[in-house]
Copies of this chain bind each other. A is one copy, B any other.
């Protein structure tokens, strides 16, 4: 909906006069190596292998390369049998949930959260419940987590760097989450999975480390996407990690592979499996987003807006002086498009995606200044 709205406003007022901060659509191009690799594969590989079916989990050599890259970067010990290539992280999440949950099972996530989680869980007749965060830092409330887990809890979805807040969960936070879940697993005699949704893993602007969750908690599945790191959101390419340490990991790997098949993905797109395997050390221009972050964050701060300074992803989650939907409407008068926090299950905030051109940010600032003045912030 927001996608169409931005396009329509751009048509009406001219693209340069609309400041569309509503979409998490990367605006720095894919690394050149992506194009070069794709062209080379198209020219030199046997088209039957390049475009043909393979195992539902993906090409074994691609999965091996992904495993090796993770091992090198995070000191893990994966092999190709721990990696399933997926149609982006969204499909990976769906496969994970289909494999894990039965009707009526409960899944937890920290609010605010990417609203699609609710739909994904509902696909399998599960129930998504939210756990609160500290609204100053947006770090998880571990006491609230402990209270929210019950015998029907099958999984906790975490997302760090976080959409919509941009915060990163520290090692201490991950250890704390793991401790709570370990205890609850023992208490109820159940398996409780962490599903780590990590499309923003590589988009970090500080020295903050993003802990690799499988190292802290055995029952962890990681959903990764190359959408942001390589600026390939339209190509739908990512992977799912099922570690050996997870309960019944072989059956679980079979289950996610079957889910990939029967939900209709069948396999991740074949050419881009091969492309990303050659671009595992590549990143789109993350510094561009960092420069955007500094510009918009500093400006909004100076106008009197309040928000956590994001360490990763490409979002600001801004406290609104009025109801967030009302603020969204007021911002539209300035041709500024942002998403209400209620869309992330937390009113009183709006999400601003700064994956836009630096010029868009510069040109939007007078509008933000007028908004601040309108609400008496400055």
Given contacts A39-B39, A271-B271, 17 further A-B pairs with CB under 8 A are A3-B54, A23-B53, A27-B48, A29-B48, A30-B47, A34-B51, A35-B43, A51-B235, A54-B234, A87-B265, A87-B266, A90-B261, A119-B261, A119-B262, A120-B264, A125-B125, A265-B265
| Distance, CA A45 to CA B46, complexed state (A) | 24
**Residue of B with least CB distance to A88:** B266
Scan A39-67; emit 1 where CB is below 8 A from any B CB, else 0.
10011001110111111000000000000
The answer to whether the Cβ of A338 comes within 8 Å of any Cβ in the partner chain is no
Per-residue interface assignment for chain A, residues 221 to 244, with 1 indicating a CB less than 8 Å from any chain B CB and 0 otherwise:
000000000011111100000000
| Residues in chain B near residue A54, CB distance under 8 A | 3, 234
Report which A residues bind B (CB closer than 8 A).
3-4, 23, 25-27, 29-30, 34-35, 38-39, 42-43, 46-48, 50-55, 87-88, 90-95, 116, 119-120, 122-123, 125, 231-236, 261-272
Q: Which of B50, B55, B92, B262 contacts A123 (CB 8 A)?
A: B262
Q: How distant is the Cα of A94 from the Cα of B95 in the complex, in angstroms?
A: 14
Known: A53-B234, A234-B269, A235-B269. A94 touches B23 (CB 8 A): no
Quick check: A264 and B4 within 8 Å, CB to CB? no
Q: Kindly state the separation between the CA atoms of A232 and B262 in the bound complex, as whole angstroms.
A: 19
Chain A contact residues, majority secondary structure: helix
Say how many copies of this protein the assembly contains: 2
Quick one: closest B residue to A103, CB to CB? B125
- Among B26, B30, B91, which residue has its beta carbon within 8 angstroms of that of A264? B91
**13 residue pairs from A and B, CB less than 8 Å apart:** A3-B55, A42-B42, A52-B234, A87-B87, A87-B236, A91-B263, A94-B264, A116-B261, A122-B262, A234-B267, A236-B265, A236-B266, A263-B264
State the CA gap A271–B234 with chains docked (Å): 8
Contacts of A123 in B (CB 8 A): 262-263
A261 to B3, CA, bound (A): 13
Contacts of A233 in B (CB 8 A): 51-53, 266
User: CA A276 – CA B103 in complex, angstroms?
Assistant: 39
| Nearest B residue (CB) for A29 | B47
User: Closest approach, in angstroms, between the C-beta of A285 and any C-beta of chain B?
Assistant: 12
Closest to A226 in B: B51
Cβ B120 vs Cβ A90 within 8 A? no
User: Do residues A52 and B39 form an inter-chain contact, with CB atoms below 8 A?
Assistant: no
How close is A43's CB to chain B, nearest CB, in angstroms?
7
User: B269 touching A236 by the CB < 8 A rule?
Assistant: yes
Contacts of A25 in B (CB 8 A): 52-53
Give Cα A119 to B39, complex, Å: 37
A120 to B54, CA, bound (A): 20
Contact A94 B231 (CB under 8 A): no
